[in-house]
Structure 1
Amino acid sequence: MPGLRNRTIAITRSRQDAREFFELVEAQAGKAVAIPAIEIIPADRKVAVRFLELLQKKKHDYCAFMSAQAVRILFDLAGTKAADILKQTLIIAVGPKTREELEKHDVRADMMPARFSSIGLVEMMSKSKPAGKKIIIPRSGEANDFAAKALSELGMKVDEVFLYKTHTAGVTEEWKEFGGMLEQKKIDAVVFTSASNVRGFFQIMKKMRKKLPESVSAISIGPFTTAELAKKGVRCHEAKDHTIKGTVDAAKRLFTSRA
């Protein structure tokens, strides 16, 4: 059976954060490899307090969570009181994993864009007569400002709070093993899950004095990740559905067509 059978695919996340990916790849008789490209650094607890105070003071119409990571960090910093305050506004979850993470903390997502990205968020809001409405977005300090600019152009009042930042991970044993697998031509594809993961990946590869072989396919989770890969001169296959499952489906289509 074609597809992922006997294929080895690396993902730019830690094993813990890539559990779904491992399950999906292994269910297709493939092998998954985790190579975390970035490390998450939560902000000071004061930032979470400021976020909640802003939400209460300005009475935002919407609060948009762009990732499950943002949800986890908010509740790690602010505790259970965040749930009661979040229930005072309409909650937008960008993607099913984000929605699931909110539900773990007793917060129901009221809205979810059809496309699980900043672009999808803007598309959804553009259909709801957003002019004059207020939205707050807790996010990574490294994320681009596309959503904030585009929502502002729709006439929305946008607040962003940076709950965490990222920095490039070190050259771990996982990375050394990955480098060896590249040399032995045992890696078929690498899945990139964010623009910051792309930057981290190539910084680590530079430290290891290695390049991504043309024989290794690059798979992108979404348009901003694709754009970052393009900056590195890497052509990629972008997932139709901007989720981890979408990247696995993209890999399956790629290798099935080659077979």
Structure 2
Amino acid sequence: MSKPVVAITRPKDRAKKACDIVEKLGGKAILAPTLDLKPVNSESLKDLVKRKDELDWIIFTSPTTIVSLNKFYPDFLKSLTCKLAVIGNKTGKLAEENGLKVDLVPEEFTAEGLIEEFKRRGITNKVIGIPRTVSARPILPEELEKLGNEVILAEAYKSLFPMDKDAVKELISKIENKEIDAITFTSPLTVENFFKIAEDEEKTAKLLSDNLLTVCIGPITAKVLQKYDITYIYPDTYTIPDMMELLFKKWRELNG
């Protein structure tokens, strides 16, 4: 059986693990980021840092948040005294590597999963800090406020349109030439930006359904793929390793 060629659309600085897993599982990884991330020291982040002693909880939704805080405020994490919630094992692991105790990780690695956990625990009338990107979905702060909490939103990084559009165009060309066997998407923006660069959305979407195995990390990203009428699969646990394990399992089933 030939090696499957797997396209990775993650931001470049977060793609190494995904590429390594593909190689380890016997495939070849092609990196074409459809999203770039840039830490920013925004006014709202400055405000959050100033108000850290008011916080009852802080929520980290991605490793990039921790990277940004360490870049601009290297003493901030060490001085945190509030409780910490994270979405995802990778974010939790990085937090622990920075000396933090993680108090809450939802079973489902989504904003919805975290909201349900806050509801279950009856966490209300608290001050909750959420450093993240402004392009993130509004559901997390909105639902936490509905529970009676005060939410301090802070922009810790920007989600940017891919700086290397040529790499994505080259990927689309490879897809058209049947040189790619599978493609992975790890957030709604990785899908949206991919199709902004595609010259013929309908044609490209059909290729992803008919010629490729399209795998996404979970149901939130899947909703965007549905919008383009793309056939997809995603794992029961929304992590990069689980996504890749599912991809190779399905690949072997289809090509065994």
Is TM more than 0.5 here? Answer: yes
Residue 10 of structure 1 deviates from its aligned partner by 0.8
Identity within the alignment, %: 25
State the alpha-carbon separation in 2 of the partners of residues 138 and 20 from structure 1: 24
Secondary structure, aligned partner of 1:29: coil
1:27 to partner: Cα distance: 1.4
Measured against aligned partners, the alpha-carbon deviations of 1:156-179 in whole angstroms (never above 9, x if no partner) come to 332221212222114545334323
CA distance in 1, matches of 2:201, 2:145: 42
Deviates more, 1:10-19 or 1:207-216: 207-216
> What aligned pairs does 1:66-145 form with structure 2 within 5 A after superposition?
66-78=61-73, 80-86=74-80, 88-145=81-138
Q: Which of 171, 174, 182 is residue 181 of structure 1 equivalent to?
A: 174
Q: TM-score, length-normalised on structure 1?
A: 0.88
* SS state at 2:179 partner: coil
**RMSD across aligned C-alpha pairs, in angstroms?**
2.3
Q: Which moved more, 1:200-209 or 1:235-244?
A: 200-209
Contact kept, 8 Å, 2:83 with 2:103, in 1: the verdict is yes
One-letter amino acid matched to 2:32:
I
Structure 2 counterpart of 1:85, one-letter code: S
Number of residue pairs matched by the alignment:
252
User: 1:194 Cα deviation (Å)?
Assistant: 0.6
Find out whether 1:254 has 2:254 as its counterpart: no
What pairs with 1:225-236 in structure 2 (closer than 5 Å)? 225-236=221-232
Structure 1, unmatched stretches of 5+, are: none
Q: Which moved more, 1:108-117 or 1:206-215?
A: 206-215
Deviation at 1:15, TM superposition (A): 4.5
SS in 1 for 2:69: helix
- Residue matched to 2:60: 65
| Structure 1 residue 152: Cα displacement | 2.4
Q: 1:131 to 1:48 in 2, by over 3 A?
A: closer
TM-score by length of 2: 0.89
- Measure the CA separation in 2 of the matches of 1:45 and 1:144: 19
Alpha-carbon contact 1:240-1:250 (below 8 Å) kept: no
User: Which of 166, 176, 186 in structure 2 is aligned with 1:193?
Assistant: 186
State whether residues 63 and 91 of structure 2, in contact with CA within 8 Å, keep that contact through their aligned partners in structure 1: yes
